[in-house]
Chains A and B, each alone.
Chain A
Amino acid sequence: MVGLYPKYLEEAVEMKYAHKEAKLYAGGTDWMVRHAECNQLLFLNQIQELKVINEDTDNIYIGSGCTYFELLNNDLVPEILKEAIRGIAAPAIKNIGTIGGNICNASPAGDTLPILYALGAKVEVISVDKNKIFPIEDFILGVRKLLLNDTEILKRIIIQKHEFSNTYYQKVGARKSQALSKASFVGLANIQEGKLVDLRIAFGSVASTIIRVKQIEEKYIDINIKELPSHIGEIKADYDSYIIPIDDQRSTASYRKAVCMNLLEDFLRKLK
Chain B
Amino acid sequence: MHKISQPVIKKDHIEKMSGDAKYIADIKIDDILHAKILRSTKAHARIVEIKIPKLEDGYYIVDYKDIPGENVLKVVTSEQPIFAEEEVNFIGEAILLVAGKDEARVQEIIHSIEVVYEEEKAIYTLEDATEFTSEYGYKKGEAEKAFEHAAKVIEETFDTGYQEQAYIEPQGVIGYLQDNKVTILGSMQCPYYVKAAVVQVMGYEENQVQIIQTTTGGGFGGKEDYPSMLGCQVAIATAKIKKPIRLILNRREDMAVTPKRHPAHLVYRAALDKENNIIGMDVEIKLDGGAYAGLSSVVLQRSLITATGVYLIPNIKIHGKVMTTNTVPNGAFRGFGAPQSLFAIETFMVHLANKIGLTPLEFKEKYLYKQGDITATSGKLQFPVKLPEMLHNIEDMSLYKRKKEQYTNQSGRYRKGIGMAFFLHGCGFTGSAERDLIKSVVKLVKHEDNTLEILSSNTDIGQGLKTTLCKVVAEVLEIPLSQVKFINPDTDRVPNSGPTVASRSLMIVGKLLERAAKRLRDNWILNKYQVIEEHYKQPYMIPWDSNTFSGDAYPTYSWGINVVEVEVDTMLATTNLLGVWGVYDVGTVIDQTIMKGQMEGGMLQGLGYASMEKMENLEGVIRQASITDYTIPTAKDTIPFETACIDNPYEDGPFGAKGAGELTILGTAPAYIEAVEQAVGIGINCIPLTPEKLLKLEKGGFQL
| A interacts with B | yes
22 contacts between A and B (CB under 8 A): A90-B634, A172-B572, A172-B574, A175-B631, A175-B633, A175-B636, A177-B635, A177-B636, A177-B637, A178-B631, A178-B634, A249-B624, A249-B629, A251-B692, A252-B696, A258-B695, A258-B701, A259-B571, A259-B573, A259-B695, A262-B572, A266-B571
Any chain A CB within 8 A of the CB of B612?
Answer: yes
Complex partner residue of B572 from A175, A177, A178, A259, CB under 8 angstroms = A259
Cβ contact within 8 Å between A175 and B623: no
Cβ contact within 8 Å between B612 and A175: yes
Per the bound structure, the CA–CA distance linking A151 and B10 in Å amounts to 56
User: Across the interface, which residues of B come within 8 angstroms of A266, CB to CB?
Assistant: 571
Per the bound structure, the CA–CA distance linking A143 and B614 in Å amounts to 25
In the complex, which residues 580-639 of chain B have their Cβ closer than 8 Å to any Cβ of chain A? 612, 614, 616, 623-624, 628-629, 631, 633-637
In the complex, which residues 625-662 of chain B have their Cβ closer than 8 Å to any Cβ of chain A? 628-629, 631, 633-637
- Of the listed residues A174, A175, A176, A263, the one surrounded by the most CB atoms of chain B closer than 10 A to its CB is A174
Any chain B CB within 8 A of the CB of A272?
Answer: no
Any chain A CB within 8 A of the CB of B137?
Answer: no
Any chain A CB within 8 A of the CB of B691?
Answer: yes
User: Across the interface, which residues of A come within 8 angstroms of B631, CB to CB?
Assistant: 174-175, 178-179
User: Across the interface, which residues of B come within 8 angstroms of A258, CB to CB?
Assistant: 695, 701
In chain A, what residue has the closest Cβ to B576? Answer: A176
Any chain B CB within 8 A of the CB of A33?
Answer: yes
Query: What's the least CB distance linking A172 to chain B, in Å?
Result: 6
User: Across the interface, which residues of B come within 8 angstroms of A33, CB to CB?
Assistant: 628
User: Across the interface, which residues of A come within 8 angstroms of B691, CB to CB?
Assistant: 172, 255, 259
Known pairs A252-B692, A254-B696; list 17 more (Cβ under 8 Å).
A172-B574, A172-B691, A174-B612, A175-B631, A175-B634, A175-B637, A176-B634, A179-B631, A249-B623, A249-B624, A251-B692, A252-B696, A255-B692, A259-B571, A259-B573, A262-B704, A263-B572
Query: What's the least CB distance linking B691 to chain A, in Å?
Result: 6
Cβ contact within 8 Å between B634 and A262: no
Any chain B CB within 8 A of the CB of A180?
Answer: yes
In the complex, which residues 161-194 of chain A have their Cβ closer than 8 Å to any Cβ of chain B? 170, 172, 174-180
Per the bound structure, the CA–CA distance linking A258 and B694 in Å amounts to 12
Per the bound structure, the CA–CA distance linking A263 and B571 in Å amounts to 8
In chain B, what residue has the closest Cβ to A179? Answer: B631
Per the bound structure, the CA–CA distance linking A178 and B634 in Å amounts to 8
In the complex, which residues 205-261 of chain A have their Cβ closer than 8 Å to any Cβ of chain B? 249-252, 254-255, 258-259
The 6 closest A-B pairs by CB, nearest first: A176-B636, A177-B636, A174-B631, A255-B692, A249-B623, A262-B571
User: Across the interface, which residues of B come within 8 angstroms of A180, CB to CB?
Assistant: 628
Query: What's the least CB distance linking B170 to chain A, in Å?
Result: 15
Per the bound structure, the CA–CA distance linking A189 and B491 in Å amounts to 70
Query: What's the least CB distance linking A190 to chain B, in Å?
Result: 24
Per the bound structure, the CA–CA distance linking A252 and B696 in Å amounts to 10
Count the A-B residue pairs with Cβ separation under 8 angstroms: how many? 57
User: Across the interface, which residues of B come within 8 angstroms of A263, CB to CB?
Assistant: 571-572
User: Across the interface, which residues of B come within 8 angstroms of A250, CB to CB?
Assistant: 629
Per the bound structure, the CA–CA distance linking A140 and B691 in Å amounts to 30
User: Across the interface, which residues of A come within 8 angstroms of B704, CB to CB?
Assistant: 262
Judged by DSSP, the binding face of B is loop
Per the bound structure, the CA–CA distance linking A251 and B629 in Å amounts to 10
In chain B, what residue has the closest Cβ to A253? Answer: B692
Per the bound structure, the CA–CA distance linking A263 and B574 in Å amounts to 13
User: Across the interface, which residues of B come within 8 angstroms of A262, CB to CB?
Assistant: 571-572, 701, 704
User: Across the interface, which residues of B come within 8 angstroms of A176, CB to CB?
Assistant: 634, 636-637
User: Across the interface, which residues of B come within 8 angstroms of A174, CB to CB?
Assistant: 612, 614, 631, 690
Per the bound structure, the CA–CA distance linking A11 and B560 in Å amounts to 65
Per the bound structure, the CA–CA distance linking A255 and B699 in Å amounts to 11
Per the bound structure, the CA–CA distance linking A258 and B616 in Å amounts to 22
Per the bound structure, the CA–CA distance linking A251 and B636 in Å amounts to 20
Per the bound structure, the CA–CA distance linking A258 and B571 in Å amounts to 9
Per the bound structure, the CA–CA distance linking A262 and B637 in Å amounts to 23
User: Across the interface, which residues of A come within 8 angstroms of B574, CB to CB?
Assistant: 172
In chain B, what residue has the closest Cβ to A256? Answer: B692
Query: What's the least CB distance linking A98 to chain B, in Å?
Result: 19
In chain B, what residue has the closest Cβ to A33? Answer: B628
Per the bound structure, the CA–CA distance linking A266 and B702 in Å amounts to 13
Query: What's the least CB distance linking B255 to chain A, in Å?
Result: 12
Per the bound structure, the CA–CA distance linking A263 and B704 in Å amounts to 12
Query: What's the least CB distance linking A176 to chain B, in Å?
Result: 4
Query: What's the least CB distance linking B635 to chain A, in Å?
Result: 7
User: Across the interface, which residues of B come within 8 angstroms of A175, CB to CB?
Assistant: 612, 631, 633-634, 636-637
Q: A177-B635, A266-B571 are in contact. Are A249 and B616 (CB under 8 A)?
A: yes
Per the bound structure, the CA–CA distance linking A258 and B634 in Å amounts to 26
User: Across the interface, which residues of A come within 8 angstroms of B692, CB to CB?
Assistant: 251-252, 254-255
Query: What's the least CB distance linking A96 to chain B, in Å?
Result: 17
Query: What's the least CB distance linking B181 to chain A, in Å?
Result: 37
In chain B, what residue has the closest Cβ to A172? Answer: B572
In the complex, which residues 10-47 of chain A have their Cβ closer than 8 Å to any Cβ of chain B? 33
User: Across the interface, which residues of A come within 8 angstroms of B629, CB to CB?
Assistant: 249-250
Per the bound structure, the CA–CA distance linking A251 and B690 in Å amounts to 9
User: Across the interface, which residues of A come within 8 angstroms of B612, CB to CB?
Assistant: 174-175
Query: What's the least CB distance linking A121 to chain B, in Å?
Result: 27
Per the bound structure, the CA–CA distance linking A237 and B572 in Å amounts to 20
Per the bound structure, the CA–CA distance linking A136 and B219 in Å amounts to 47
User: Across the interface, which residues of A come within 8 angstroms of B690, CB to CB?
Assistant: 174
In chain B, what residue has the closest Cβ to A250? Answer: B629
Query: What's the least CB distance linking B379 to chain A, in Å?
Result: 41
Query: What's the least CB distance linking A201 to chain B, in Å?
Result: 17
Cβ contact within 8 Å between B634 and A177: yes
User: Across the interface, which residues of A come within 8 angstroms of B696, CB to CB?
Assistant: 252, 254-255
Query: What's the least CB distance linking B627 to chain A, in Å?
Result: 8
In chain A, what residue has the closest Cβ to B250? Answer: A35
User: Across the interface, which residues of A come within 8 angstroms of B614, CB to CB?
Assistant: 174
User: Across the interface, which residues of B come within 8 angstroms of A179, CB to CB?
Assistant: 631
In chain B, what residue has the closest Cβ to A263? Answer: B571
Per the bound structure, the CA–CA distance linking A249 and B635 in Å amounts to 23
Per the bound structure, the CA–CA distance linking A251 and B628 in Å amounts to 13
In chain A, what residue has the closest Cβ to B104? Answer: A37
User: Across the interface, which residues of A come within 8 angstroms of B624, CB to CB?
Assistant: 249
User: Across the interface, which residues of B come within 8 angstroms of A172, CB to CB?
Assistant: 572, 574, 691
- Of the listed residues B572, B616, B634, the one surrounded by the most CB atoms of chain A closer than 10 A to its CB is B572
Per the bound structure, the CA–CA distance linking A90 and B628 in Å amounts to 13
- Of the listed residues B612, B633, B635, B692, the one surrounded by the most CB atoms of chain A closer than 10 A to its CB is B692
Per the bound structure, the CA–CA distance linking A33 and B572 in Å amounts to 29
Per the bound structure, the CA–CA distance linking A170 and B413 in Å amounts to 15
Query: What's the least CB distance linking A90 to chain B, in Å?
Result: 7
Per the bound structure, the CA–CA distance linking A266 and B571 in Å amounts to 9
Query: What's the least CB distance linking B697 to chain A, in Å?
Result: 12
Per the bound structure, the CA–CA distance linking A178 and B636 in Å amounts to 9
User: Across the interface, which residues of A come within 8 angstroms of B616, CB to CB?
Assistant: 249
Per the bound structure, the CA–CA distance linking A254 and B696 in Å amounts to 9
Per the bound structure, the CA–CA distance linking A255 and B574 in Å amounts to 11
B156-193: contact bitstring with A at CB < 8 Å (1 yes, 0 no)? 00000000000000000000000000000000000000
